[in-house]
């Protein structure tokens, strides 16, 4: 009995010792795992999370940088593509089990900031229809600034010669930039013979001595339609106009009529219906407003803001700012002037739409083209100075200064190698943050209006 009792007690003690050993081992193992997790969270998770957030920032920037190209595609599609869609994940940085939380961001349109204004005193074109009627008894008529002729008649009531001559000539000359562009010659050898010859701008005859009177009767009450295709003078006029268009400084020509037929009181009249080309100086102002923006709210990686303004994409790590996608400004020397093409792109939200949304999920940025056209002024050198006034987005003074400085540096680099001279005010002067381009400038404006909105993916699917 005694030995059996002793054996039972030993067995219970041994069993209790195993249980204690298992518990202790579990506690030690749990503590080790916990220590490793804590060590990892303290030492590595911030690095891992920052790396994930950095990769997410790169992904968002790639998608955001596609906005200028998407707007260009909408303009090129000319209405066949109504809306551009770009899906962007607002947040990231989650590591399962170890760091399950995510960062978040905000995406949307800010319609009331980021104004971009172009001002200039520009020559504009005024095409006016004119009709001139008169007689050629005085022998000479000069009409200037003709862009096109729709009717050109010579009316001959009677031809009389003095005793010293039995022939006469009427010369009709076209001149573009004081260079001969073509001419017509109407010749009378007698009061019964009337011929016409046409030369082009290369002084080659198109028509030679073509009879234009119906018979050998006296030339009285006769009408010559110079634009009749059988004479070829209409082709010469068209070539003169085409020559003017190729030389954008003077897209018009002058017409001179010299008459030596009516030396003895001949009654010859003319009728010309034409368009007159004139230039008028006007003060032009055009402003775009609105930006598209993404702003991150990271836990470990530095926060960034991506801003689209007037064709350019900025990367902002306040207060630092850099232009990462250049706008579609074109500055290029051409003949005796410099062509300056500036896009003016306004971004709105439309009515009853949420302009900005924040979170960590995937959202869709939709951009719809509302209007696009080209504002053209007079051909050739149409202004000597263009002012560009830029309002930076909201931010502290240093950020706004750096933002404006990026625009100034961009234009400074763009005009390099051209005939344009550029001046800019101090970027800290918020009342007059202006860049001025000086030179012989041909200004063109690309006017574009778009609307941006955010559509939740959950609502789309």
pLDDT per position as a tens digit, 384-412: 999 999 988 888 888 988 999 999 999 99
Domain boundaries in the chain? Answer: 45-115+289-460, 125-281
What three-state secondary structure class fits 406?
helix
Is a pLDDT exceeding 80 seen at residue 17?
no
What pLDDT digit, counting tens, does each position of 161-192 carry? 655 556 778 888 888 765 667 888 888 877 77
Distance of CA 267 to the CA centre of its chain: 56
Strands 383-390 and 116-135: antiparallel
Q: Residue 320 is inside which H or E element, if any? A: strand 320-325
Residue 340 CA to chain centroid, in angstroms?
A: 10
pLDDT of residue 461: 44
How far apart CA 176 and CA 180 sit, in angstroms, is 7
Beta-bridge partners for 269: 135, 155
Characterize the bridge pairing of strands 383-390 and 222-225: unpaired
Q: Tell me what percent of the residues of the chain surpass a pLDDT of 70.
A: 76
Strands (E), 68-192: 83-89, 104-110, 116-135, 140-158, 168-176, 179-190
Share of the chain above pLDDT 90, in %: 30
DSSP state, 382? -
CB 290 within 8 A of CB 346: yes
Which pair of tokens denotes residue 391? Answer: 């309002």
Question: Any idea which architecture 125-281 has in CATH?
Answer: Sandwich (2.60)
Q: For the purposes of burial, counting CB atoms within 10 Å of the CB of 78, is it exposed (0-12), middle (13-18) or buried (19 or more)?
A: exposed
Mean pLDDT, residues 94-102 taken together: 60
Q: Is the pLDDT of residue 79 over 90?
A: no
Using CB atoms within 10 A of its CB, is residue 258 exposed (0-12), middle (13-18) or buried (19+)?
middle
Predicted confidence at residue 265, as pLDDT, reads 47
Count the helices and strands in the chain (H runs, E runs): 6, 22
Alpha-carbon torsion, ordered 275, 279, 280, 281, to 10 deg: 160
The token duo for 288 is 């775009």
CA-closest candidate to residue 324, choices 335, 340, 313: 313
Q: Diameter of the chain by CA atoms?
A: 176
What is the overall mean pLDDT for the chain? 81
129-155 pLDDT tens trace: 999 998 876 678 888 888 889 999 988
Q: Is the pLDDT of residue 460 over 50?
A: no
Neighbours of 453 (CB within 10 A): 19
């Amino acid at each position: 009995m005694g030995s059996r009792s002793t054996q039972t007690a030993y067995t219970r003690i041994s069993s209790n010792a195993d249980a204690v050993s298992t518990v202790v081992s579990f506690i030690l193992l749990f503590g080790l795992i916990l220590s490793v997790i804590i060590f990892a969270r303290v030492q590595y998770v911030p690095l891992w999370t920052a790396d994930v957030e950095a990769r997410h920032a790169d992904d968002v920037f790639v998608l955001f940088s596609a906005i200028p190209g998407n707007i260009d595609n909408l303009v090129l599609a000319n209405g066949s593509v109504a809306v551009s869609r770009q899906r962007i994940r607002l947040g990231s940085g989650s590591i399962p089990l170890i760091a399950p939380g995510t960062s978040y961001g905000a995406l949307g349109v800010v319609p009331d900031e980021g104004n971009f204004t172009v001002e200039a005193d520009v020559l504009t074109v005024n095409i006016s229809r004119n009709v001139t009627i008169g007689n050629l008894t005085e022998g000479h008529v000069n009409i200037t600034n003709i862009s096109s002729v729709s009717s050109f008649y010579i009316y001959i009531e009677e031809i009389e010669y003095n005793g010293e001559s039995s022939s006469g000539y009427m010369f009709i000359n076209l001149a573009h930039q004081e260079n001969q562009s073509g001419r017509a010659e109407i010749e009378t050898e007698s009061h019964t013979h009337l011929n016409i010859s046409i030369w082009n701008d290369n002084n080659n005859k198109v028509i030679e001595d073509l009879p234009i009177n119906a018979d050998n009767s006296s030339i009285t009450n006769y009408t010559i339609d110079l634009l009749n295709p059988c004479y070829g003078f209409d082709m010469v006029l068209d070539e003169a106009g085409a020559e003017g268009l190729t030389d954008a400084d003077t897209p018009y020509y002058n017409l001179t009529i010299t008459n030596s037929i009516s030396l003895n009181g001949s009654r010859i009249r003319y009728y010309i219906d034409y368009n007159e080309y004139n230039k008028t100086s006007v003060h032009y102002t055009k402003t775009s407003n609105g930006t598209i923006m993404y702003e991150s709210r990271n836990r470990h990686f530095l926060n960034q803001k991506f801003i689209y303004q007037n064709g350019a994409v900025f990367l902002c790590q306040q207060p630092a700012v850099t232009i990462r996608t250049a706008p579609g400004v074109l500055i290029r020397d051409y003949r005796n002037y410099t062509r300056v093409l500036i896009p003016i792109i306004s971004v709105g939200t439309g009515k009853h739409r949420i302009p900005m949304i924040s979170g960590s999920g995937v959202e869709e940025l939709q951009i719809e083209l509302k209007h696009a056209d080209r504002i053209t002024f007079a051909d050739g050198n149409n202004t000597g100075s263009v002012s560009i006034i830029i309002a930076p987005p909201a931010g502290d003074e240093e950020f706004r200064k750096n933002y404006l400085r990026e625009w100034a540096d961009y234009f400074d680099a763009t005009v390099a190698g051209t005939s344009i001279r550029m001046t800019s005010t101090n970027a800290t002067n918020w009342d007059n943050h202006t860049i001025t381009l000086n030179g012989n400038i041909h200004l063109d404006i690309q006017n574009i209006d778009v609307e941006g909105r955010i559509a939740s993916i959950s609502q789309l699917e």
